[in-house]
Amino acid sequence: MSPETMELFRYFIIFIILIFITGVYCILVSFNLVRVLIGLEILIKAVTLLIILAGYISGQVALAQAIVLTLIVIEIVIMVVAGGVVFWAFKYTKTIDPRRLSNLRG
Amino acid sequence: MITLDLILLSILLLFVIWTVMTVRLVHAVVGLALTSAILAVIIYRLNSPLAAVFELSVCSGLISVIFITTVSFTQRISKERFIIRRRERLLRFLYLPFIIIVAGWLLIKYLRIPQFSLPSAASVTDARLVLWHLRHLDLLGQVIILIAGVFGVVVFFKETNK
Amino acid sequence: MVILFILLPFILLLILNLPFKFLNARVASFLSAVLFLTQVFSVLVHSWLHWSNQALILGQFFKFSLVLDPLALVMLLTIGIVVFISLLVARSTLTTEKRYFNFINLLLVSFIGMNATVLIADIFSLYVFVEITAVAVFVLMAIEKNRFAIEGTFKYLVLSMIASIFILTALAFFLMACGETSFTGIHNAFLAGANIILLNFAAALFLCGLFIKCGIVPFHGWVPDAYSEAQSAVSVLLAGVVTKITGVYVLMRLFISVFVLKGNFGNVIMLFGVISIVFAALAAFNQNNIKRMLSYSSISQVGYIILAIGCATPLAILGAVLHFFNHAISKSLLFVNAAVLEKKFGSTDISIITGLGNQLPVTSATSLVGLLSTAGIPPFIGFWSKLIIIIALFTAHRFVYGGIALLTSILTLAYFLYMERNVFFIKTQEPGQDKERVPFGLKFCEILLAAIIVGAGLGLPFILNSQILRGFLRS
């Protein structure tokens, strides 16, 4: 593998790790259920970029794209279901604060 | 060109940080759509045009619509609580840029990728051919998960509570 | 032929949703019950059928790469039994007919997902069907839409997605290192030995993701809330198969057949298993809610299976598979009992429910069977599986782990007997509040599961000689 591809790869990995850190921070520190979902979305985008990068580096561009396509479909369905759960959580507690969801302890 | 990729990646990181740190929820959803757009451009530059256009149309468009629909079902909090919230939230999220800068500097200095050998080149190079001829189980999986999603919508949004 | 395990439920799902008026919940439940029993039956007599991996007519158009080996047969049997039980429990505990119809459809989706998970030979397709099962279970857990169920669902959703992120990251690294995602490709890449650092790192990430999905300490945060607050039939499904198939089975398959790893991984897996066993057994002590206590005991039993997988000798793997089957049946029985209690009294709090031995004779007898089997008392099947695991640990010279497993088993027994005595056998002054009869469907489930436990426990030498396990030991 040529050194400039290696260099590019290294920068991509660094940025992907930084996006991961941002997503995890968003999930941990947010007080709003929809923000937790946004943090999850950011993590999924980072993983999508990582898969495409893996496909580019290893030459398997077609397989990586097929994986990403299926992944995007799964992501949509999960976000719709999560939206439904947040909707009902709001109906019960009149707020979307995850601290209020700490009824179940232990 | 490496520099164009680096510029695009930096813009992506900037949009992601803005999405997390912004105060209003609708702005965050718009930020998510913008990051999807920049991500689509980066993916296109990595020789994956099909994935790029899918990411652009679906993640940038459909998921933002889903989020804004969800947000619009919930209520706005009152004005004074909003100001209190904004102040305490700024304190919490202020750490994020510092963490990113410190982590970035550490990674640039110390991250070494071990040398690894690459696998052989692919036999089929078109993504559409791979998907339709080799990965039938994934297609079946997509159909089934969409059916599950439809039932999810029916359960959550159609019935009235007892 | 193997593809029928996936296609038949799919066709049934499509048929049930056609816009005809007579396709209501009753027809749907009858047809799905027939389907689940067909699966159980076909596994039990599989040596008489002629399995072939060709798919006859379908094989010309579609190319599905599915593998049916003896481990998958045991899993299919377990899935068939527990899903059938869940269907019957739901018939008695769901409130409206429309909800029951939605329940059946989502149950079929999760059934397809789990069947496909045990038959697939490719990592990414495995992930897709694990996600299908997870999505179906998310919606099922919240099907009654009461407040605590929504909370449990949200926690399970977020943690399951984080686990998926780990798994996908590991998948990306596998793609980088060996260019394919099929089991044979990755196995060859491990054997070739070119990118060992990258492959080991990817396997470690995969392991983190799978631990979250299994519910192993310290990644067990979602388990008590999800198991205890989900709707009763869904608790049976979750505790019985979903957590185990989407987490423990995938771990078993990958870390035994596909990845070729050095000894350190085995030690790490065993360590996490032992921590789970001890921590969850202790945490089950001060729980007031029956379902929460059962969920902690689930974590503990899954710790036993993980401990045996980490040991990785053939005897240990046999113990792991046997304990898998045993725990699925016992835990389903205990959750069905909890469903009966909940239906009669409206709550699962131990401090409220006491002294029921006279009113619920079937429930108390079967819960005694279930608890003793979980704790590992002869002649129930739990005794055999724990015995095999402990013997395997001792013969592999892991005396500390074996000793801890044995002691915790005694601890579990002590607490279970205490709870059993409190709930069922104490004589109270006044009778219980509600006098309605337990529905027949629930009684039938309990008796069936208890019969399986006792029968399999007594007949274990015959089972060990049978085709399934003989073929399994050979592989």
Name the minimum distance, in Å, from the CA of C177 to any CA of chain B: 6
Asked casually if ipTM beats, i.e. exceeds, 0.95, the reply is no
Which sign does the torsion angle of CA C54, C57, C58, C61 carry?
positive
pLDDT tens, position by position, C71-125: 888 888 889 989 988 888 888 788 788 888 889 999 999 999 999 999 888 899 9
Cis-peptide into C70, omega within 30 deg: no
Choose from A34, A77, A78 for mutation: most chain C CBs within 10 A: A78
Largest CA distance in chain B: 62
pLDDT band at C62 (very low <50, low <70, confident <90, very high): low
Average pLDDT estimate for A16-37 = 89
pLDDT at residue C226, as a whole number? 87
Task: Give the domain extent around C452.
Answer: 262-475
d(CA C141, CA C156): 10
Token pair, residue B157, equals 């949004």
Sequence letter at residue C473: L
CB contact under 8 A, B93 and A79: no
Residue C215 to residues B71, B106, C149, C211, C299: CA-CA distances in angstroms?
A: 31, 33, 18, 6, 6
Within 13 Å, how many C-alpha atoms sit on residue C408's CB side?
28
Q: Which tops the pLDDT comparison, A96 or C353?
A: C353
pLDDT at residue A24, as a whole number? 92
Sequence letter at residue C106: L
- H-assigned helices in C22-62: 25-44, 58-61
Token pair, residue A53, equals 């990068």
pLDDT at residue C355, as a whole number? 61
CB contact under 8 A, A7 and B32: no
Q: What is the residue whose two structure tokens read 């990644």?
A: C219
Q: Are C46 and C121 in contact (CB under 8 A)?
A: no
CB contact under 8 A, A34 and B2: no
Token pair, residue C45, equals 């007599």
Close Cβ partners of B72 (under 8 Å, ≥ 6 residues apart): none
Lowest mean pLDDT among A46-50, B136-140, B148-152, C21-25: C21-25
Helix (H, G, I), strand (E, B) or coil at B63: helix
Q: Which tops the pLDDT comparison, C3 or A79?
A: A79
**Residues in A 20-59 with any Cβ partner in B closer than 8 A:** 21-23, 25-26, 29, 31-32, 34-35, 37-39, 41-42, 45, 48-49, 52-53, 55-59
From the list C128, C135, C287, the residue facing A81 with the nearest CB is C135
Pick from C213, C349, C320, C217: nearest CA to C271: C217
Most confident of A50-59, B28-37, C239-248: B28-37
From the list B114, B137, B155, the residue facing C143 with the nearest CB is B155
pLDDT band at A44 (very low <50, low <70, confident <90, very high): very high
Q: Are A91 and C213 in contact (CB under 8 A)?
A: no
pLDDT at residue B162, as a whole number? 46
pLDDT at residue B43, as a whole number? 93
Q: Is the pLDDT of residue C63 over 70?
A: no
CB contact under 8 A, C158 and A40: yes
Name the minimum distance, in Å, from the CA of C62 to any CA of chain B: 7
Return the CATH class of domain A3-98.
Answer: mainly alpha
Residue stretches of chain B with pLDDT short of 70: 1-2, 75-82, 119-125, 127, 130, 159-162
pLDDT at residue A81, as a whole number? 94
Q: Are A83 and B66 in contact (CB under 8 A)?
A: yes
CB contact under 8 A, C150 and A63: no
Q: With respect to residue C229, please indicate whether it lies within any of the assigned structural domains.
A: no
pLDDT at residue C463, as a whole number? 60
Q: Is the pLDDT of residue C49 over 70?
A: no
Phi, psi of B126 (to 5 degrees): -100, 130
Q: With respect to residue C196, please indicate whether it lies within any of the assigned structural domains.
A: no
Q: With respect to residue C116, please indicate whether it lies within any of the assigned structural domains.
A: no
Average pLDDT estimate for C127-152 = 89
Q: Is the pLDDT of residue A105 over 50?
A: no
Close Cβ partners of B134 (under 8 Å, ≥ 6 residues apart): A66, B124, C63
CB contact under 8 A, A40 and C145: no
CB contact under 8 A, B156 and C142: yes
d(CA A65, CA A76): 17
Largest CA distance in chain A: 58
Residues of C in contact with A53 (CB under 8 A): 172
Q: What is the residue whose two structure tokens read 């507690």?
A: A93
Residues of C in contact with B151 (CB under 8 A): 102, 105-106, 109, 139
Q: With respect to residue C451, please indicate whether it lies within any of the assigned structural domains.
A: yes
Count of domains forming chain C: 1
pLDDT band at A6 (very low <50, low <70, confident <90, very high): confident
Most confident of A2-11, C63-72, C444-453: A2-11
Helix (H, G, I), strand (E, B) or coil at C221: coil
Q: Are C175 and A50 in contact (CB under 8 A)?
A: no
Most confident of A17-31, C51-65, C191-205, C308-322: A17-31
Name the minimum distance, in Å, from the CA of B34 to any CA of chain A: 12
pLDDT at residue C200, as a whole number? 87
Q: Is the pLDDT of residue C428 over 60?
A: no
Q: Which tops the pLDDT comparison, C189 or C51?
A: C189
d(CA C457, CA C383): 8
Q: With respect to residue C233, please indicate whether it lies within any of the assigned structural domains.
A: no
d(CA A13, CA B48): 18
| C-contacting chains (≥3 CB pairs under 8 Å) | A, B
pLDDT band at C167 (very low <50, low <70, confident <90, very high): very high
Pick from C121, C71, C90: nearest CA to C28: C90
Helix (H, G, I), strand (E, B) or coil at B24: coil
Residues of C in contact with A103 (CB under 8 A): 147-148, 151
Mean pLDDT of chain C: 81
Chains B, C: CB contacts within 8 A come to 85
Residues of A in contact with C165 (CB under 8 A): 43-44, 47
Lowest mean pLDDT among C8-22, C58-72, C386-400: C58-72
**DSSP 8-state assignment for residue C122:** B
Q: Are C250 and C130 in contact (CB under 8 A)?
A: yes
Q: What is the residue whose two structure tokens read 């209501």?
A: C24
Q: Is the pLDDT of residue C429 over 50?
A: no
Lowest mean pLDDT among A90-99, B10-19, C169-178: A90-99
Within 13 Å, how many C-alpha atoms sit on residue C217's CB side?
24
Helix (H, G, I), strand (E, B) or coil at C401: helix
Within 13 Å, how many C-alpha atoms sit on residue C84's CB side?
23
Close Cβ partners of A96 (under 8 Å, ≥ 6 residues apart): A32, A33, A34, A86, A89, A90, B74
CB contact under 8 A, A33 and C176: no
